[in-house]
Amino acid sequence: MRLKNKTVLITGATSGIGFVAAQRAIEEGAFVVFTGRNQDQILQTQNQLGTQSLGISCDHSNLASQDNFTQKIQELSIKFDVIYINAGNVTHEAFGQWTTEQFDVIFNTNVKGPFFLIQNLLSMINPHASVILCGSTSIHIALEKSSVYAASKIALRSLAKTLSRELLAHQIRFNLLSPGPTLTPALNKVANTPAETEQLKVSIENLVPIKRLADPIEIANAFIYLASDEAKFIVGSELLIDGGVANL
């Protein structure tokens, strides 16, 4: 029960890594507040996670939506011990094909949203809290079509360092959790057809030294470690869970 009596926020937790992270946090004794954009998915996830969870609708690319979320948290008098900024946009596109609209959606979701969510929630974060930003092994490698996505994620690497320093007086530690290729529904968003998805999966597996994609539970277990007091001496760091992609 490494998160017993802790209140955890996980953004983008209606599927994939976020959902499994929410399950693991509950198993470890936490009460989990989670977000998603689709109200039906939130209700379905709420039923799956049970009474130790609370789902609230929020589009983290939209600051007005985040303001509404923050107001609800204030009204409920919730204070967080752990925040996992997991919601993100994984769009990939060849250089020369990007539109300004696509660019803005990625940076609004992956950088602007997280930055202002943390700023708005600052008074609702308990001392000694752990804030975990979702990075990507893409920031360490030159993967084709990942220019904008990787740029957005390396901005979070910077935030994990600068906010750790700037908010030392608040006793909040920030770290980056960077997954490698992981078998989640997000893979379908990168490819256009089932055949392309399978081809992409095989090509990605060939990039991973251990020749497989991560199971979401492996990323969730790393999240639990960073969220727990076991990691309380880890500040401003990056934890790579990528099967050796960045280092081998």
> Which of the four pLDDT bands, split at 50, 70 and 90, describes residue 193?
confident
Q: What are the Cα distances from residue 234, in Å, to 28, 104, 116, 206, 230? A: 20, 32, 23, 32, 9
**Rounded CA gap, 104 and 206, in Å?**
31
What DSSP character marks residue 201?
A: H
Q: What are the Cα distances from residue 96, in Å, to 92, 99, 103, 106, 146? A: 12, 9, 12, 16, 12
Task: Look at residue 84 and give its three-state secondary structure.
Answer: strand
pLDDT at 201: 82
Q: Kindly name the residue from 19, 34, 80, 149 that is annotated as catalytic.
A: 149
pLDDT digits (tens, 9 = 90+) for 224-244: 999 999 999 999 999 999 999
Q: Does residue 189 register a pLDDT over 70? A: no
Q: Which two tokens stand for residue 18?
A: 């976020």
Would you say how long the chain is, in residues?
Answer: 248
Query: End-to-end distance of the chain based on CA atoms, in angstroms?
Result: 34
pLDDT digits (tens, 9 = 90+) for 72-98: 999 999 999 999 999 999 998 999 999
Q: Does residue 204 register a pLDDT over 90? A: no
Task: Look at residue 176 and give its three-state secondary structure.
Answer: strand
Short-list 65, 145, 63, 142, CA closest to 108: 63
**Rounded CA gap, 62 and 186, in Å?**
20
* Domain edges within the chain: 7-184+215-241
Q: Which two tokens stand for residue 148?
A: 């904008």
Backbone phi, then psi, for 139, in 5-degree steps? -75, -10
> Which of the four pLDDT bands, split at 50, 70 and 90, describes residue 190?
low
Q: Contact at 8 Å (CB) between 67 and 114?
A: no
> Which of the four pLDDT bands, split at 50, 70 and 90, describes residue 141?
very high
Q: Does residue 188 register a pLDDT over 80? A: no
pLDDT at 48: 97
Angle at 46 between CA 45 and CA 49, to 5 degrees: 85
Q: Does residue 205 register a pLDDT over 80? A: yes
Angle between helices 147-166 and 100-107 (to 10 degrees): 30
> Which of the four pLDDT bands, split at 50, 70 and 90, describes residue 194?
confident
What DSSP character marks residue 215?
A: P
Respond yes or no: is residue 149 known to be catalytic.
yes
Q: Computed from CA positions of residues 195, 213, 173, 71, in that sequence, does the dihedral angle turn out positive or negative?
A: positive
pTM of structure: 0.94
Q: What class does CATH assign to 7-184+215-241?
A: alpha beta
